[in-house]
Every structure is written in C-alpha cells, then in structure tokens.
Amino acid sequence: MAILKIARMGHPVLKRVAEPISDPTSAEVRRLVSDMLDTLEDADGTGLAAPQVHVPRRIVMFYVAGTRARRAAAADEPAKAQGPSGTAPPTSMEGKDEGEDEDEPEVPLTVLINPLVEPLSDETAVGWESCLSVPGLAGQVPRHRAVRYRGLNLRGEEIVREARGFHARVVQHECDHLDGVLYPQRMSDLSTLAFTSEMAARTGAPVREE
Ligand code: NI
C-alpha cells in the first residue's frame, strides 16, 4: 500500500497533456493503479487522475455514490473536505438544475485507461465541483449533461458507457486532468469560486471535495 503525494494547482504536471498507456495489463500500470486507489481512499475522494499523483499518463478512476447515498452521507457528516459530491445548498455538486437532481444509480469504482469522452448533445448543466489538486475551494462549472465515454480496464478490455448528470460531470472533470485542464478553467462565472470553509460557515451545511 502506498499513498501518493497529490500535486496541487500550479505544478507543471497538472498543465501538460498526459501520455497514453501502451500496455494496460503491465505490472507497472497495475502497481500505479493500486497506489492511486490507496491515495483516493485515503483522501476520501470521488475521483483521481494519474497526473494528480505526478504521473503524466492517461489513467483516471472514479466512484459515484447513488444520489440517495450522497444525500445521506452529507446529512450525517460534519463539514469536512472530502468526496466530490456536496449536497448542501448552495454548495451541492449535484448541480442546481433538475437534470442533476434526478435519482442517479451508483457507479462502481471504475478505472479507465486511455479514456475518451464525447458529448451526446449540446445541452449543458452547471454544478458545483471541487478537486483534490485545488484544496479548500469549490466553484460552479458548466459541463455536458450527457456523454458517452470509453476506455480500457486493467485486463485491456474496452468499457463503453453513457453517463448523465453527476456521473457525466465526474468523468469530464477527471478526463480534463489528462489534458492539463483544471475545473477553474472551465468556469464561466468566477464569482462562484469560494472557500468551502466559508460556504460551510454560512450555510451550516457540509461541503465535500473531490
Ligand atoms: Ni480534480
């Protein structure tokens, strides 16, 4: 088990385009993914991309709790920086429109190697995001509401899925890391960028971080 150091905004590894993986089944990739899983669990996050642990390769991982599970967790836990999915008004990462408030199924922990994301329509939704590489902050980010994504698993098999709402948001956020893009660069209204501790102090509600 190894918990890796997480790169923070400003580190060059977060700005570059990551390299593809040539052999998803290699021992090297398996070891990196294992360490990334430990790191993600330790940080209590929802998603992680390899550049965030200083490895400029095209690997992402994420987990999406079902909507009910996220709401329950947010209600139970004290204000604490963790996980991508806040539920507190106005700090919910579920987004402020009905599209991301629909009950969503849980998405099991997924490792994607060399992922590709394509929008399924021009429709976008605005929702709260935060990032382990941008600690302490959250902001509202427009994202495609529905996407199709594909990538390889550790056995080299292709995964193809369609995602909507928060699931689609998490995938877009993580895959952006592979192209050197952090969520503040996607924001259309920088006035919503805020310290989660300030938001929690004002709403008394928990704020979660990815
Ligand atoms: Ni991130």
CA–centroid distance, 140 to ligand 1, in Å, is 14
Is residue 144 included in any domain, yes or no?
Answer: yes
- Ligand 1 centroid, distance to 202 Cα (angstroms): 24
The alpha carbon of 45 and the centre of ligand 1 are apart by a number of angstroms equal to 9
Domain hosting residue 133, numbered range: 12-203
The pTM assigned to this predicted structure is 0.84
- Return the amino acid letter for 92: S
Domain contains 6: no
pLDDT at residue 192, as a whole number: 96
* CATH number, domain containing residue 141: 3.90.45.10
Q: Which pair of tokens denotes residue 121?
A: 């329509």
Q: Is residue 3 part of a domain?
A: no
Q: Please determine, for residue 199, whether its predicted confidence score (pLDDT) is greater than 90.
A: no
Q: Is the dihedral of CA 85, 89, 91, 93 positive or negative?
A: positive
CA distance linking residue 152 with residue 67, whole number of Å: 26
Q: Which residue has the higher pLDDT, 70 or 195?
A: 195
- Structural domain includes residue 88: yes
Ligand 1 centroid, distance to 47 Cα (angstroms) = 7
pLDDT category, 136, cuts 50, 70, 90? very high
- Domain assignment present for residue 130? The answer is yes
Residue 148 lies in a domain: yes
* 82 domain-assigned: yes
* Ranges 97-101, 123-127, 190-194: which has the least confidence: 97-101
Return the pLDDT at 95: 35
- Residue 74 confidence class, pLDDT cut points 50, 70, 90: low
Residue 201, helix vs strand vs coil:
helix
C-alpha 194/C-alpha 42 separation (Å) is 24
Share of residues in the chain with pLDDT > 90 (%): 74
The set of catalytic residues is 174
- How many domains are there within the chain? 1
User: Mean pLDDT across the stretch 51-70?
Assistant: 90
180 CA → ligand 1 middle, Å: 11
pLDDT attached to residue 75: 64
Phi, psi (degrees; rounded to nearest 5) at 67: -55, -45
Residue 7 maps to a domain: no
> Would the pLDDT of 79 be above 70?
no
Give the separation between CA 33 and CA 29, rounded to whole angstroms. Answer: 6
- Interval 174-201 mean pLDDT: 95
Structural contact between residues 131 and 210, judged by C-beta atoms closer than 8 angstroms: yes
Q: What is the pLDDT of residues 86-107, one digit of tens each?
A: 333 333 343 333 345 567 789 9
How many other C-beta atoms lie within 10 A of the C-beta of residue 126?
19
- Residue ranges with CB less than 5 Å from ion ligand 1: 131
pLDDT digits (tens, 9 = 90+) for 6-48: 999 999 999 999 999 999 999 999 999 999 999 999 999 999 9
